[in-house]
Amino acid sequence: MGVAILVEDVHFSYEGVPALRGVSLTIRTGEVLAIMGENGAGKTTLVKHFVGLLKPERGRVLVFGIDTRDASVAQLARRVGLVFQNPDHQLFAESVEGEVLFTLRNMGYPSDKARAICDSILKLFELDRYKNRSPYSLSIGERKRLAIAAVVSYNPDVLVLDEPTAGQDFFNKSKISKLIFKLKMQGKGVVIVTHDVEFAAQVADRVVLMAEGRVIREGGAKDVLTDAEALRRARLMLPQIPATAAILEAEGVSLPSKPLLPGTLYLELLELLDHRWSEYE
């Protein structure tokens, strides 16, 4: 697990309106980071800095040691893959297969290698049966998977997903979370920009809360997503399990530590009620 991206006191404005007011954070490989906050907090602006689409007015962004102001977007994109929120903004080819090949070609892969990677990637994302179809004939969930597949295909070290679960059904959300785990196991860094607290609770290792262009809280997922006050300031809601724990707390049922997921709540309650699960029938 090493440092992939260093954001150092970045300031940025759009036409005089400040969007980022001194943001600093670290992105590591082998870790899933969730950047969260309401719409307009600056999350998308921030991640655009990771591939150099935007350059900071003050401060700097280092991607694997390279200052983004000294490199082109294409160079940075080789190491940091960015998947935008709406798949329809990023499907450029005539066929599903062509989409992946287009990306691989741009990233400098020779044709034969590109073809092999394309086949295995499409299989992995369960899109191989649509190989020759137009990307626009796919359902919204499939188009989203295709956009992600195209970016994953060239094996960037960090993958950034902007609102991966917005408008997605349960089936696709599960697929995406499985993919994120897989990438993490492979040692990649994954950044998800989201306001879906439940999804973040499931997949994130660390969480950064943003509001009005600043980072207002940062830490382990378990600590941040159970911090009602910080979430409120970021205009987010507590996920269901910490919210339940908060209600129980208010009613006098104090759990030993703050649970984030159903399994943890279950174990905490067991402990509280002094039933060691191995002794129970």
Partner 1 sequence: MTLVELRHVRFRYAGSDSYALNDVSLSAERGEFILLVGPSGCGKSTLLRVLNGLVPHFYEGEFEGEAKVAGLNVRSTPTHVLARHVGMVFQDPENQLFLSSVEREIAFGLENLGLSRLEVRRRVREVLKEFNLESIKEKAPYELSGGQQQKVAIASVMALEPEILALDEPTANLDPLSALEVLTLVNRLVREKGVLAFVVEHRLELALRFATRMIVMLNGRVAADGGPREVLLKAGKVVGYPPVMLAHVLLKRKGLVGDGVPLTCEELAEEVIAKWALRYS
Partner 2 sequence: MSKVLDIFRFRRKRTLLHELDPRAKFAMLVALSAASLALSDGVSLAALLVVEVVLLAVAKSLREWARSLTGLSTLLILIFALNYLTLPTDRLFTATAMTLRFLCLTTAFSIFFLTTTADELAAALEASGVPREYSMMFTMSLRFVPSLARDMQTVTDALRSRGLELEKGSLSERLRNYTYLLVPLIVFELKRSLMVAEALEARGFGAVKKVEPYIELTFKGKDYVVVITSFLALLAVAWVILSGTYSTFVAWLRGVFPKV
Edge-to-edge strand ranges of the sheet holding 66-67? 17-28, 3-14, 58-63, 66-67
Q: Does residue 90 touch partner 2 according to CB under 8 A? A: yes
Which of 80, 89, 86 lies closest to 53, judged by CA? Answer: 80
DSSP 117: H
Q: Which is nearer to partner 2, 113 or 178 (CB)?
A: 113
Q: Which is nearer to partner 2, 102 or 199 (CB)?
A: 102
Handedness of CA 53, 59, 65, 71 (dihedral sign): positive
Instruction: State the minimum distance, in angstroms, from the CB of residue 259 to partner 1.
Output: 9
Q: Which is nearer to partner 1, 256 or 262 (CB)?
A: 262
Q: Does residue 137 touch partner 2 according to CB under 8 A? A: no
10 Å Cβ neighbour count for 51? Answer: 26
Interface segment toward partner 1; rule CB under 8 A; list 21-29, 60-68, 110-118, 171-179? 171-179
Q: How many residues does the chain have?
A: 281
Binding partner at 247 among partner 1, partner 2, none, C-beta below 5 to 8 Å by kind? partner 1
Q: Which is nearer to partner 2, 49 or 222 (CB)?
A: 49
Binding partner at 81 among partner 2, partner 1, none, C-beta below 5 to 8 Å by kind? partner 2
Rg over CA atoms, the chain: 20
Contacts with partner 2 by CB under 8 A: the residue count is 27
Cα atoms in the Cβ-side hemisphere of radius 13 Å centred on 19:
19
Question: Are 202 and 222 a contacting pair, CB within 8 Å?
Answer: no
Which of 37, 44, 33, 43 lies closest to 237, judged by CA? Answer: 37
Q: Does residue 235 touch partner 1 according to CB under 8 A? A: yes
Write out the residues near partner 2 by the rule CB under 8 A. 15, 48, 51, 53, 72-74, 77-78, 81-82, 84, 86, 88-92, 102-103, 106-108, 136, 150-151, 154
